Amino acid sequence: MNNRLNESYVWCRQLTRQTAGNFGYAFHTLPRDRYLAMCALYAYMRVTDDLADDERLDLTDRRRQLENWRTDVKNSLAGHPPSHPALPALADIVNRYAIPADSLLTVIDGVEFDLSPRTIATFDELSFYCHQVAGVVGVCCLHIWGYLEPRALVLADRCGRALQLTNILRDLAEDAGQGRFYIPEQDFIECGYTREELAAGREGPGFQLLMERMSSRALADYEAAEELFAVVDQPGRPILRAMIDIYWELFLKLRATHFSLSQGRVRLSKARKCWLATRAWLRPVRREIAAPLAKTSAFAVR
């Protein structure tokens, strides 16, 4: 490994340690080479998010930054000298693990979607957004972890949507305050609840119906994610188990509070995340998802 590439991996690993949060605990279940590859992939995702979220710049400049980043990534993957410390490592893992370049670029499309407050009309539109910012990340991860059958790629997309729906449900109040509404407008109408009520923090029967609908979708995706264990290579099973368990437990905590808009951001402690990652490393098996759900929430699952 040449000096520039080694420095790139060091930079990506340091960024992962500083900012990875939930995901970072799961990375340590991997063998070292795949751990470093996940750090490089995470660093790319983190840089992309940060360019879109740079509040020092107006929206026009943020879009320009993202477009420049897209060009830099394409050039780096084509073999041109990289312009960012994360790119040598990114180009290396694309070559070593055959990660689809289109999937990496799709993530830029997804974060660009978030630049302007907008509404999502249908669940199909929401699913496409989840695919852009989470599903394709799952596909990239599978290329690093290894998989046994093509259907693993479809299941990885469902797994990514489960995690992203959990993020959306966790951040309802915060996103509404910024004019971002990821719950489909069709669902608001059919549940008798409005975006204005959500932004005002008002909860009632319509809100509960809406949360039941959204959480039932997430549950179905978590169940689909469990099917991945049969088609992921053995080294990838502990990190998959850890990621699912960390977000599943966060999902259960949200349901236990009925997704209250006044509770602040729901979190897991560092100790709990470490424990879940350790347990996943010791026993990365498929688990039953639906069984504990009835014990944690009054919502009915349809």
Instruction: Let me know whether 86 and 136 are in one domain.
Output: no
Percentage of the chain exceeding pLDDT 90: 75
**How does the average pLDDT of the chain come out, rounded?**
91
Question: Which comes out higher in pLDDT, residue 240 or 264?
Answer: 240
Q: Across-strand partners of 147?
A: 232
Does 105 score more than 80 pLDDT? Answer: yes
Please report the pLDDT score of residue 111 as a whole number: 92
Instruction: Let me know whether 153 and 291 are in one domain.
Output: yes
Q: Find the mean pLDDT for residues 130-143.
A: 95
Please report the pLDDT score of residue 222 as a whole number: 97
Please report the pLDDT score of residue 176 as a whole number: 92
Please report the pLDDT score of residue 22 as a whole number: 65
Lowest-pLDDT range of 50-54, 69-73, 90-94, 117-121: 117-121
Please report the pLDDT score of residue 2 as a whole number: 85
Instruction: Let me know whether 96 and 135 are in one domain.
Output: no
Instruction: Let me know whether 163 and 222 are in one domain.
Output: yes
Q: How far apart are CA 79 and CA 238, in angstroms?
A: 33
Lowest-pLDDT range of 202-211, 222-231, 289-298: 289-298
Assess if residue 107 is contained within a domain. Answer: no
Each residue's pLDDT tens digit, 178-208: 888 999 999 999 999 999 999 999 999 999 9
Please report the pLDDT score of residue 193 as a whole number: 97
Cα–Cα distance list, 168 to 77, 173, 252, 266, 285 (Å): 32, 10, 14, 12, 27
Residue 277 per-residue DSSP state: H
Q: In a 10 Å sphere around its CB, with 0-12 CB exposed, 13-18 middle and 19+ buried, how is residue 148 labelled?
A: exposed
Instruction: Let me know whether 264 and 130 are in one domain.
Output: yes
Non-local CB neighbours of 301 within 8 Å, separated by 6+ positions: 212, 215, 216, 219, 290, 293, 294
Please report the pLDDT score of residue 198 as a whole number: 96
Does 294 score more than 80 pLDDT? Answer: no
Q: Find the mean pLDDT for residues 73-94.
A: 95
Q: Find the mean pLDDT for residues 224-240.
A: 94
Does 290 score more than 90 pLDDT? Answer: no
Residue 132 per-residue DSSP state: I
Instruction: Let me know whether 56 and 136 are in one domain.
Output: no
Domain holding 60, by residue range, is 1-100
Does 151 score more than 70 pLDDT? Answer: yes
Assess if residue 271 is contained within a domain. Answer: yes
Q: How far apart are CA 220 and CA 241, in angstroms?
A: 17
Instruction: Let me know whether 144 and 40 are in one domain.
Output: no
Question: Could you give the residue ranges of the DSSP H alpha helices within the chain?
Answer: 3-19, 22-27, 32-52, 59-77, 87-97, 101-113, 123-130, 136-145, 151-170, 172-177, 185-191, 195-200, 205-226, 237-256, 270-282
Q: Find the mean pLDDT for residues 62-86.
A: 95
Last residue of a domain, one of 70, 100, 130: 100
Q: Find the mean pLDDT for residues 150-177.
A: 95
Instruction: Let me know whether 82 and 125 are in one domain.
Output: no
- The single-letter code of the amino acid at 77 is L
Lowest-pLDDT range of 26-35, 54-63, 135-144, 289-298: 289-298
Assess if residue 111 is contained within a domain. Answer: no
Our count of domains for the chain comes to 2
Q: What is the CATH number of the domain that holds 265?
A: 1.10.600.10
Does 23 score more than 80 pLDDT? Answer: no
Residue 140 confidence class, pLDDT cut points 50, 70, 90: very high
Question: Do residues 130 and 214 make contact, with C-beta atoms less than 8 angstroms apart?
Answer: no
